[in-house]
Amino acid sequence: MFKRNLYFRIVSTFISVVMLSLFISYLINSIFFHQELFIEEEVSKISTGVAELVELIDVEKVPDLMETLEGFNLEMMIVNEEAIVYSSFSKPPLAINSESIQTIINSPEITSTVLPYHKREATRIVGSPIQMLNGEYALFIQINYEKEVVALKRIIAFTLFLVLFIGSVLILLASTHIVNPIKKLTDAAKQMATGNFSVRLKSKNKDEVGELINSFNYMASELEKIDKMREDFVSNVSHEIQSPLTSIKGFTKALQDDVIPKEHQKEYLDIIFQETERLSRLSENILRLASLDSEHHPYHPSKYRLDEQIRRTVLATEPQWKMKNIQINLDLKSLEIYADQDLFEQVWLNLITNAIRYSYENGIVDISLQGNKDEVFVSIKDTGKGIPEESIPHLFERFYKVDKARSSSVKGNGLGLSIVKKILLIHDCSIQVESEEGVGSIFTVRIPIYSDADRKL
Ligand SMILES: Nc1ncnc2c1ncn2[C@@H]1O[C@H](COP(=O)(O)OP(=O)(O)O)[C@@H](O)[C@H]1O
Ligand SMILES: [Mg+2]
């Protein structure tokens, strides 16, 4: 449980990173930096200084000097080849032997030589030649900086520990900045899983977490829209089903109970038949929309004559326009398009049926087909009742009807234009509506023509 905690992960990552970098820097340090050089330089300077001092003062004062130097952790020895003249060394070091004494005495004045030492030793012995009592002597100074090294190591270790400790505490505090928004996101996602799509989170930062929160909010609002659409869809469908069912139920009951005189029975059966047809059209349209919505809707485009297709559709709707005594004028240029014939047939059928359905008796419907090599326009113009301006933006919404009360007697279900829109979208086409109430409407479809080469891309 604790291991899965994000705080724990951040702090442990921090500690591991610091530890690892310390280790690597230690390695690099020990490979590339030779601090010994600094120390040797210092030690040589001291020893040259002492050598000058010894030459300056009286020989009797040398023991006093030795005592003073001991207070600074400096041990000293003056020798010549025969004997040790003065020494404050606790034990004579191995490095001082007749050979090294010889070398020092023979070396030029004011030079100092560091004697060989062990790598890990914190002591250095430096020899300088001196002139004393009219003779040549070698002066050895031993510096022990063990204590300083230990103190330095302690300070470094303590500082590193402090860095780790303070860093961990600060990282722990700072990580709340990172972890809190994620916790909030988790809570919000859980809420959304229970069906509450109204959750939104505030994001102050523009960083990755801020972006995540923005995306989450966007997802939530999209889901909310989809949920709303689903609710509307269910209520619309039930409403559309309910009214024909009610009349079917009522009329069959009346027929069953023999309350309808024989001569009127045919009328009632006609109504029942129409309502059944309306229901079947509804389910047909819903299925068609569902199929168009799905990624795998059938789509079989081919090249065909558009004018012929429109002419066929007009013929198919003949009973409807004949019944209302509507005059249909065709002005069709002979043009070919590349599209799914079955789907486009649906488009013309829906638009022409609407033009007839929402026209008055003896109206006129003009259908024209124009175009050039880039685009084709089909316009369907009626002299019907028109559409109020405020309704035009909603025409292509599912189940939208301008006149809700009346349209139940007119056989629509408000899905026709949404199917048209969907099919046109699939084909990269667009549709425009111009309408004036009491004058009529024009629906214009624009079909872009792609060359064969473009289409293959
Ligand atoms: N040519 C038109 N003239 C007037 N109103 C129209 C026309 N076409 C569509 N409408 C209005 O748009 C609404 C939506 O049309 P549509 O989606 O085809 O549904 P419906 O099944 O009701 O015909 C219709 O209810 C109608 O009010
Ligand atoms: Mg319609």
Instruction: DSSP for 389-456, please give it.
Output: GGGGGGTTSTT--SSHHHHTTS---S-HHHHHHHHHHHTT-EEEEEEETTTEEEEEEEEE---HHHHH
363 lines ligand 1 (CB under 6 A): no
Last residue of a domain, one of 112, 127, 144: 144
Would you place residue 376 in the very low, low, confident or very high pLDDT band (cuts 50, 70, 90)? Answer: very high
pLDDT in tens, 231-241: 988 998 898 89
In 10 A of CB 91, how many CB atoms? 6
Phi, psi of 130 (to 5 degrees): -135, 160
By most ligand atoms within 8 Å of CB, the mutation choice from 237, 381, 395 for ligand 1 is 395
Pair (424, 343) in one structural domain: yes
- Are residues 420 and 304 part of one domain? yes
Q: Are residues 45 and 15 in the same domain?
A: no
- d(CA 161, CA 271) in angstroms, rounded, equals 91
**Residue range 1-24: mean pLDDT, rounded:** 81
Residues 6 or more apart whose Cβ sits within 8 Å of residue 88: 66, 67, 69, 70, 75, 76, 77
Instruction: Give distance in angstroms: CA of 359 to centre of ligand 1.
Output: 11
Asked whether residue 308 falls in the same domain as residue 422, the answer is yes
Measured from the CB, is residue 216 less than 6 Å from ligand 1? no
**3/26 Cα distance (integer angstroms):** 30
What would the pLDDT profile of 70-105 be if each residue is shown by its tens digit?
Answer: 888 888 888 888 888 888 888 777 778 888 888 888
pLDDT digits (tens, 9 = 90+) for 168-201: 888 888 888 888 888 899 999 999 999 899 999 9
For residues 213 and 182, membership in a common domain is answered with no
Q: Which atom of ligand 1 is nearest to the CA of 386?
A: 4
pTM value is 0.64
301-305 and 113-114: which strand pairing? unpaired
Give the closest residue to 306 by CA, choosing from 446, 451, 456, 434.
Answer: 446
Find out whether the beta carbon of 355 lies less than 6 Å from any atom of ligand 1: yes
pLDDT value, residue 455? 66
Taking the C-alpha atoms of residue 56 and residue 46, their distance in angstroms, rounded to an integer, is 15
Give the end of a domain, one of 160, 189, 218: 189
Q: What is the pLDDT of residue 135?
A: 83
Q: Are residues 279 and 331 in the same domain?
A: no
CATH number at residue 291: 1.10.287.130
Which domain range does residue 350 map to?
300-456
Cα 348 from chain centroid (whole Å): 43
- Answer yes or no: is pLDDT of 134 > 80: no
Same domain? For 292 and 304 the reply is: no
Element (H, E) at 76: strand 74-79
- Same domain for 111 and 201, yes or no, is no
Confidence band (pLDDT; 50, 70, 90) for 403?
confident
Token readout for 397 is: 């919404």
Q: Over the stretch 32-71, which tens digit does the pLDDT of each residue have? A: 665 566 677 888 888 888 888 888 888 888 888 888 888 8
Strand ranges of the sheet holding 364-371, from the earlier edge strand across to the other edge: 327-332, 364-371, 375-382, 440-448, 430-436
Proximal ligand: closest to the CA of 400: 1
Tell me the pLDDT band of 203, cut-offs 50, 70 and 90: confident
Same domain, 325 and 439: yes
Q: Please tell me the total count of domains within the chain.
A: 4
Atom number in ligand 1 closest to CA 353: 23
Share of the chain above pLDDT 70, in %: 95
Final residue before a domain boundary, out of 127, 144, 161? 144
